[in-house]
Structure 1
Amino acid sequence: MTTQVNDSPANPPAPDVPVAPVPAPVPEPPGLPDRLAALDRVVRAATGRLDQRLLDDAEALLDRAGQRLRLSAEHTVVALAGGTGSGKSSLFNAVCGLELSPTGLRRPMTSKAHACVWGLDGAGPLLDWLDVDKRHRYARASALDVARSDSSLQGLVLLDLPDHDSIQAMHRAEVDRFIGVADLLVWVVDPQKYADAALHRNYIVPFARYASVTLIVLNQIDRLEAAEVDECVADLRRLLEAEGLRNPNIITTSAVTSDGVAGFREVLVDTVAARRARNERLATDVTGLADRFAEYRGAAEPPAGVDEAHREELIQNLTSAAGAPAVAETMESAYELRAADFVGWPAAALVDRLRRDPLRRMKLSELREELRGAFTGPVGAQQGDVDAALAAATDGVTAGLPAPWARAVRAAARSHAHELPEDLGEALKDALPAFNQVPRWWWLVKTWQYFLTLTSVLGVVWIGLLIAYGVLGLGDMDGLLGEAGLIPYVAVLVVCTLGMGWLTSSACRNLVALSSARHGDRMERDMRDRIGGVAEEKVLRPVAAELAAYAAFRNDVDAVRSA
């Protein structure tokens, strides 16, 4: 019994025809959900990096596969496609057992896809998803296979498509849409036009990888002699294999004499019972996309990050770009000038002030203060030097990468390029100590120098008093202030204190020169370490993250390609 499928509840089967039991659904082949999940990860990893058309195709497939897997797994969608006059509508009617699709001499006869469904439970949402016009939906409520009483077409959704070579563009678009979603593709050809260039160029060659879910039906064999049928099948097979359709499944039929129709129905019965066509079709779709993504999967294992040599080169280049060596040298000079205020001999400093200062004469007396304060402000690196350093850092990791991923790694290295000059300046500023921090021994030396200075001054005053009271007799003074014989001894004391001050200043200056070099080296290392931290956060980590994304992309592409 045949009914037209509408929104009304499913029609009960005819009471006089037994309905074969529905085979238990076969579980999905292991790996298909995992492959789809891996494809989703591939798309997310490739977003913004690979060709957008490829990503759009992958997202469309993921959306279509998700919808198809959520729909009835007990139905297999079989599309009958063919050219004008191939007799696919007659074959469709022969399988259905009734004249459901119009046939005749006028072409094209089929302008809209017709669907015949065996088993209505769950078929409605599937037909809605296929977008089959409700006026062209029909249901078979009984088994039609008369050759095998234990067989059934229960679960078959048979589609009769418009002609693929129709002069109407909307008909060709209808064909393209359905062959993109059908679980099993059945191409119906006739002895006269089985080598039609439009069919092979537009459909057979592009869909050659779908050999496992493709069936070729040579119809209208009633027009040929038996020997001609064999020759025609052999020539058709040769043509299909030459176009990449491996081991093509070819059957012969005649809708007029019913020759081969039973065999065609047997193939449909076996396909429906196996419940594999849907997943095989989706798996083939996934494999095709995986092959396109594989073009962006390099053969070489990617590095985990920038190697140590390029890392050190990057830090060195950024250190030079930030001017850290110059800052360290400036700090050495500032350290020495600062030390002179503490360890210098005060008497010599007084003499220097009394002499004409060439710096003062050149109006550059402020240079000392500028030099002392040179390290208290931020230092900015030149953007050009930073860009050159970033470009050199990625040379070692992008050599073996596909071009899009190499560009992505370089872009990751430059993701914070505009921030680096300021960050490098802040790193240098944070590495510099406060200006009022001086070693403790400087204070000890300064105290000792002032003690010697005070002793020398007291000695000079003492000599003056001895001369005044002991030699000139300006007053009556006895003892230490009136004994002229003490003058040589006090003079020796003054000379000794002055000499000790000079020797202390000279020794300390030499010590300061040595310690200032060590101080500059220490500060340069500290600045380099801080610049290394900036490089790690702003350059090396983004590069490592991009390389990790590429490594995950490679693994996921392998997972998608695995059968």
Structure 2
Amino acid sequence: MTTSAIPVNPSPGSGATPPGAGSAAGAARDAASPLTERLDRLDSLVRLGAGRLDQSLLDEARRLLDRAGQRLRLSGEHTVVTLAGGTGSGKSSLFNAICGLELSPTGIRRPMTSRAHACVWGLDGAGPLLDWLDVDKRHRYARASALDLERADASLQGLVLIDLPDHDSIQAVHRAEADRFVTIADLLVWVVDPQKYADAALHRNYIVPYARHAGVTLIVLNQVDRLQPAEVEDCVADLRRLLEAEGLADPRIITTSAVQEDGVRQFRDVLVDTVAARRARSERLAADIGRLAERFAAHRPPDDFPSAVDQVRRDELIQALTDAAGAPAVAEAMESAYELRAADFMGWPVQALITRLRSDPLRRMRLTELREELRGAFTGPVGAQQGEVDAALQGVTDGVTAALPEPWARSVRAAARSHAAELPEALGEAVREALPTFNQVPRWWWLVKTWQYFLALVSVLGVAWIVLLVVYGVTGGESSDPLLGETGLIPYVAVLVVCTLGMGALTSSACRNLVALSSARHGDRMEEHMRERIAQVADSKVLAPVAAELEVCARFRADVDAVQG
């Protein structure tokens, strides 16, 4: 009974599914669940790392996510196995030996394989997969005839075996073709020969970078028919030593010979086991994820990094912003304005009149405007200089960033300064809102003012009384009212006037002392109110962005742990 291989463009529904394939597919779907979770976490790492981590790492992760999404949507019943190797390693002969026909050209001329050749066992669902692999339709072959299914080839149902161009070809397009398939194959088979198994290009460009892919990597020492049995063992031992030294843990190595009877049986058995397990696809993607996870782990924040700016640095920031906003100076101006306002509101009217009648030194020195500015200090716009704000932001995150990798330390510092341009205006607004309106005065000021004007009125009436008594006394006029006609009352009325004047002056002096004491408390209260408002600005404009960035760090750390598995 003969078998045949024909060039095909496989399409869904054109082949048979062997017994047990359904249960294998279910197992593959179950295995894909944790893989999907890791891919989701990797996608989260990419999003969290945007603008923070190296762009090349993020781009590579995006390419893996795109490739993984496409591969998981394609046939899970097929396992893509690539035969890769250098010039003269015999991978095309090995490909033909497994296929049972001369499908890939062999010969002395190098390179013989210029395009990837694919042989498929089982056509159902293979078409989209081969299209995704970008295998030329002229180099696609199928082993799915009724005769094939009756033979031992049925055990390879689901295998997509690909013969690649030489990775060390002198043609750049051939090397690019080999490199592309190496990144997407489910199982990597490296075919080496006894003469070139230590080839530096192979080990430097492929073995070392893909050392984490040991679970989906198979090393085939081909052409062992050229060696004596003892030499085969020596070659395998030396090859194993090289691979382990380059980080390939517990490498799988088999020997083959395409010219000996049963020379590829061990290789066929490995392919049968791989296809039956239906795990190569998930294991390859898991290895790719693990390789990237190591690079992300280099930027993983430690477990004990702070989740917020400590209280000491928060207080230092608030104090620095308070100074930058000029709050202490405003508080001092408020004390002076409070005293001036009190003097205007509760001052002894007689003294105020005398002051207006005499020359004002401030007016003479043209500094009256300064006094008026001081009186209105709490109603004017207040702001902070950008340089002072920048100085206040220096060091606020030092305690947090000390334990973080540099990309995250840089992003946390940037978060602290994300609203730096808005801070001067926000601080000015905070100070302005903390200040009282112009018309706000203590209630006791009204009592004192009423009392002062009462005393002033009594003094004016007393002076008028004295004048009337003097007029009646000088003119000798008579009055029916004894209070106006009795000049003997003048001393008593004068004493009354002096007493009211003295009481007014004494009240004014006492109030000045009280105001001096209360103005200090008033300035402290104003400074505290401004500090509270500035603390709100610091929390919303500086500390909240830092806390949000630290939360991103924590999520990144959790995602790295999940991706690493």
TM range (shorter): over 0.9
1:152 Cα deviation from its structure 2 partner: 0.7
1:145 Cα deviation from its structure 2 partner: 9.2
- 1:535 is matched with 538
Local SS of the residue matching 1:393: coil
- 2:376 is matched with 373
Structure 1 residues 316 and 19 mapped into 2: Cα distance closer, same or farther (>3 Å)? Answer: closer
Local SS of the residue matching 2:195: coil
Local SS of the residue matching 2:155: coil
Instruction: Measure the CA separation in 1 of the matches of 2:149 and 2:270.
Output: 14
- 2:73 is matched with 70
Amino acid aligned to 1:354: L
Pick from 431, 434, 442: which aligns with 1:431?
434
1:52 Cα deviation from its structure 2 partner: 0.5
Instruction: Measure the CA separation in 2 of the matches of 1:478 and 1:2.
Output: 146
1:337 Cα deviation from its structure 2 partner: 0.6
- Is the CA contact (8 Å cut-off) linking 1:413 and 1:540 kept in structure 2? yes
- 2:41 is matched with 38
- Larger helix share, 1 or 2: 2
Pick from 510, 513, 527: which aligns with 1:510?
513
Query: Superposition pairs for residues 448-527 of structure 1, below 5 Å?
Result: 448-470=451-473, 472-476=475-479, 478-527=481-530
- 2:169 is matched with 166
Instruction: Measure the CA separation in 1 of the matches of 2:216 and 2:146.
Output: 23
1:104 Cα deviation from its structure 2 partner: 1.2
Amino acid aligned to 2:536: G
Instruction: Measure the CA separation in 1 of the matches of 2:455 and 2:310.
Output: 59
Local SS of the residue matching 1:42: helix
1:258 Cα deviation from its structure 2 partner: 3.3
Pick from 52, 57, 60: which aligns with 2:55?
52
Instruction: Measure the CA separation in 2 of the matches of 1:330 and 1:388.
Output: 24
- Is the CA contact (8 Å cut-off) linking 1:162 and 1:172 kept in structure 2? yes
Amino acid aligned to 2:562: A
Q: Quick check: 1:417 aligned with 2:420? A: yes
Instruction: Measure the CA separation in 2 of the matches of 1:380 and 1:64.
Output: 54
Local SS of the residue matching 2:247: coil
1:363 Cα deviation from its structure 2 partner: 1.4
Pick from 196, 207, 214: which aligns with 1:193?
196
Pick from 122, 125, 144: which aligns with 1:122?
125
Once superposed, what is the RMSD of the aligned Cα atoms? 2.0
Instruction: Measure the CA separation in 1 of the matches of 2:383 and 2:172.
Output: 65
- 2:387 is matched with 384
Q: Quick check: 1:559 aligned with 2:556? A: no
Structure 1 residues 114 and 426 mapped into 2: Cα distance closer, same or farther (>3 Å)? Answer: same
- 1:234 is matched with 237
- 1:447 is matched with 450
Percent identity, please.
75
Q: Quick check: 1:136 aligned with 2:139? A: yes
Pick from 533, 546, 549: which aligns with 2:549?
546
Instruction: Measure the CA separation in 2 of the matches of 1:380 and 1:342.
Output: 29
Structure 1 residues 444 and 219 mapped into 2: Cα distance closer, same or farther (>3 Å)? Answer: same
- 1:401 is matched with 404
- 1:22 is matched with 21
Instruction: Measure the CA separation in 2 of the matches of 1:41 and 1:270.
Output: 35
Q: Quick check: 1:317 aligned with 2:317? A: no
* Residue segments in structure 2 that go unaligned for 5+ positions in a row: none
- 1:362 is matched with 365
Local SS of the residue matching 1:99: coil
1:375 Cα deviation from its structure 2 partner: 1.8
Structure 1 residues 478 and 530 mapped into 2: Cα distance closer, same or farther (>3 Å)? Answer: closer
Structure 1 residues 372 and 540 mapped into 2: Cα distance closer, same or farther (>3 Å)? Answer: same
Structure 1 residues 448 and 144 mapped into 2: Cα distance closer, same or farther (>3 Å)? Answer: farther
Structure 1 residues 138 and 444 mapped into 2: Cα distance closer, same or farther (>3 Å)? Answer: same
Local SS of the residue matching 1:328: helix
- Is the CA contact (8 Å cut-off) linking 1:147 and 1:262 kept in structure 2? no
1:108 Cα deviation from its structure 2 partner: 0.8
- Is the CA contact (8 Å cut-off) linking 2:11 and 2:125 kept in structure 1? no
1:156 Cα deviation from its structure 2 partner: 0.4
- 2:287 is matched with 284
- Is the CA contact (8 Å cut-off) linking 1:20 and 1:151 kept in structure 2? no
Pick from 346, 351, 355: which aligns with 2:354?
351
Local SS of the residue matching 1:157: strand
Instruction: Measure the CA separation in 2 of the matches of 1:384 and 1:12.
Output: 75
* Residue segments in structure 1 that go unaligned for 5+ positions in a row: none
Amino acid aligned to 1:510: N
Structure 1 residues 400 and 6 mapped into 2: Cα distance closer, same or farther (>3 Å)? Answer: same
Local SS of the residue matching 2:420: coil
Q: Quick check: 1:84 aligned with 2:87? A: yes
- Is the CA contact (8 Å cut-off) linking 1:380 and 1:422 kept in structure 2? yes
Q: Per-residue CA shift, 1:197-221, capped at 9, x if unaligned?
A: 2211211122122111111111112
Structure 1 residues 516 and 8 mapped into 2: Cα distance closer, same or farther (>3 Å)? Answer: closer
Q: Per-residue CA shift, 1:180-237, capped at 9, x if unaligned?
A: 0001011111112112222112111221221111111111122222222222222222
Structure 1 residues 157 and 149 mapped into 2: Cα distance closer, same or farther (>3 Å)? Answer: closer
1:503 Cα deviation from its structure 2 partner: 1.6
- Is the CA contact (8 Å cut-off) linking 1:20 and 1:143 kept in structure 2? no
Structure 1 residues 149 and 160 mapped into 2: Cα distance closer, same or farther (>3 Å)? Answer: closer
Amino acid aligned to 2:21: V
Amino acid aligned to 1:117: V
Amino acid aligned to 2:90: G
- 1:98 is matched with 101
Instruction: Measure the CA separation in 1 of the matches of 2:257 and 2:340.
Output: 108
Instruction: Measure the CA separation in 1 of the matches of 2:96 and 2:21.
Output: 23
Q: Quick check: 1:269 aligned with 2:268? A: no
Local SS of the residue matching 1:215: strand
Instruction: Measure the CA separation in 1 of the matches of 2:146 and 2:508.
Output: 115
- 2:258 is matched with 255
Greater CA drift, 540-549 or 197-206: 197-206
1:3 Cα deviation from its structure 2 partner: 2.6
Instruction: Measure the CA separation in 2 of the matches of 1:557 and 1:143.
Output: 49
Instruction: Measure the CA separation in 2 of the matches of 1:451 and 1:257.
Output: 130
- 1:338 is matched with 341
Structure 1 residues 500 and 19 mapped into 2: Cα distance closer, same or farther (>3 Å)? Answer: closer
- Is the CA contact (8 Å cut-off) linking 2:13 and 2:125 kept in structure 1? no
Structure 1 residues 298 and 199 mapped into 2: Cα distance closer, same or farther (>3 Å)? Answer: same
- Is the CA contact (8 Å cut-off) linking 2:469 and 2:485 kept in structure 1? yes
- Is the CA contact (8 Å cut-off) linking 1:314 and 1:393 kept in structure 2? yes
Amino acid aligned to 1:312: D
1:9 Cα deviation from its structure 2 partner: 6.5
Instruction: Measure the CA separation in 2 of the matches of 1:518 and 1:105.
Output: 101
Aligned length: 558
- Is the CA contact (8 Å cut-off) linking 2:244 and 2:250 kept in structure 1? yes
Structure 1 residues 11 and 99 mapped into 2: Cα distance closer, same or farther (>3 Å)? Answer: farther
Local SS of the residue matching 1:138: strand
1:467 Cα deviation from its structure 2 partner: 1.9
Instruction: Measure the CA separation in 1 of the matches of 2:221 and 2:499.
Output: 125
